[in-house]
Amino acid sequence: MKPILIKDNKSYDKSKLDAIPSLTNQVLDKTLNQLEQEGLFIFPNIKDNSDDLCGEQMILQSFNNNYYSSNVMGFLGFGEEQLFIQSRFSVVDEETNRDYFFQYLLEKVLELPNITNFDTFSSQSEQIFNLYMFLFPLYLKKAMRKGFFKTYVWRKYNKSNVQGIVDVKAHIQVNTPFVGNVAFKQREFSFDNDMNQLIRHTIEYVKNQSFGSVIVAKIKNESNKIIEATPTYEYFDRNKVISNNKQNTIRHAYYYEYRVLQRLCLMILQHQKHNIGFGSNHINGILFDGAWLWEEYINKLIGAGFYHPKNKSRVGAQQLFSKESGYQVGLIYPDFISKNNDNRIIADTKYKPIKNIDSKDYLQVLAYMFRFNAKKGFYIYPESDSAVNPSLQMYLNEGTTFEQNVNHQEDIVITKLGLIIPQRTDLTYSEFYRAMQSNENRLIKSILNE
C-alpha cells in the first residue's frame, strides 16, 4: 500500500486519511504521552529534551470535518498502512514524494551520513530502521552518563563451597554420583545483567550492518566498557535476552535514560519481527519535534559564536532580576546569546512562517535584549526561495501616540531573518544540499556582519 502523506501544522479534510482507517484510529486524538507508552518512539524524549514538545500534544486531532496535524514530523505504521508526516516548509514532488528538507535536518542534527535518504517508498521501512540505529549512539551515551546499569541477578554454581540456595533438581542432574560438589544459586549485584546484555547484543547486531562501522566508531569507549561488563555474552542467547527485557521493563526513575535505551534496543533487535508498518498488530514509528530539530540545526550553524541555554535540561539558566538580598529570580532561557559581550546579539529560532511571528514573540526577545544589553535581535525561521525579501528589519519605537512623538530608534533593531529553503522539485538531493550550504553561509554572514 502506498503511504499517505501529510504535512505538519496543517488541516485536512477527513477523507484524506480514508485509505488508512486502522492507523488513523490508533493515533487520532491521543496525546504523545499515550502513544509513547504504547511503543511509539518520539525524538527527543518528551520528558527532558524538547522545550517545545509537550506530552499533551496530539499527532492528529479531529475537529468537525477536519484533521489537524501538530508540530511533529515522522513515520507511522500499523499493519500495511503507513502515514508520513513531512515538513510544511518542504515542496514535495507528488511523483517521488521526496522531503529533502526533513532529510537534511536529520542529517545535520543527528550527524547522519548520507545513506538514510527517503527517495523511494520501496525501501522506506529500511530507511526508518536505519534511523533507529543511528539514534543508538546518542541514547547509549546519554544512559551511560548515569553510570553502568547494575542490578541483582541469579547466578548458578556447582562447587563444594556452598554460598547460596541449593538447587536440588540441578544437583541431582549434574552431581550423580556425588563427587563433592553442590549445585546452588546465588543472588548477586552485577553489571552483567539483562539490560547490559541487551546493549551488548545491539552493539554486535549493529556491527554487522553495512554501515555498522560508522555507528560503532561513535561509541568506541562505551562499546568497550559494555563488552568488558558482559563476559557471559553468547550470540545464541539473543532471543532469551530480548524476552527477559520485554518482561522486565526498567521502571526506576533514576534509570529513565536506560528505559528509553531499552525500548530502542528492542526495536532494533526485533526489526525482522516487527518491521515498521508491515505485519505488526500495534502502532510503530518514529516522530521528531519540528521546532527542536530547527533549533538544534541552527545551533550547528551559529553555535560556535553563541551560548545556547536549554530549558528542559536546565542548561545555561539565566535570571531577569535580583532582590536586595542578592537572590535571583525570573528564570529565562533565550535560544541564543552571543559570546561577544561588546556587541551582544540575541537570536530566537522560530519553526513557523514569518507572518506568524508576532506580539508575544516580540515581547519575549525584547525582554532578553534588555536583560543582556543587546542592541540587535534576530528571529531565524525557514523561508521559501520565492520570498521577495527574506530579511525584515524592525526598529524599536520610542514616544507615545498620546503625545504624537512616536519615532523609531536607529540603534535597537530586531530582524526577521529567513533561511532560504530551496523549493524546486527537479533538484537532486546533492543539488539541494549545495544550495542549502550556500544559503547557510549567507545567513551566518547576515548575523555576524550586521
Domain spans, the chain: 4-143+239-288, 151-190, 317-448
User: How confident is the model over 158-207, as pLDDT tens digits?
Assistant: 777 777 677 677 767 777 787 778 776 767 667 888 999 999 999 999 99
d(CA 350, CA 348): 7
Q: What angle, 0 to 180 degrees and rounded to 10, lies between the N-to-C axes of helices 256-269 and 124-144?
A: 150
CB atoms closer than 10 angstroms to residue 371: 18
Using an 8 Å Cβ cutoff, are 312 and 49 in contact? yes
Which residues are within 8 A (CB) of 294 and not within 5 positions of it... i.e. 6 or more apart? Answer: 105, 349, 350, 351, 382
d(CA 65, CA 320): 45
How high is the mean pLDDT of the chain? 85
Poorest-pLDDT segment among 96-100, 123-127, 388-392: 123-127
Poorest-pLDDT segment among 112-116, 277-281, 440-444: 277-281
Mean pLDDT of 239-263: 91
Beta pairing, strands 41-43 & 284-289: parallel
Q: How far is CA 351 from the centre of its chain?
A: 15
What pLDDT, on a 0 to 100 scale, did the predictor assign at position 94?
Answer: 61
Residue 31 carries which DSSP code? B
Mean pLDDT of 85-98: 77
d(CA 97, CA 80): 18
Query: Is pLDDT at 372 greater than 60 in this prediction?
Result: yes
Mean pLDDT of 255-267: 90
Mean pLDDT of 24-35: 89
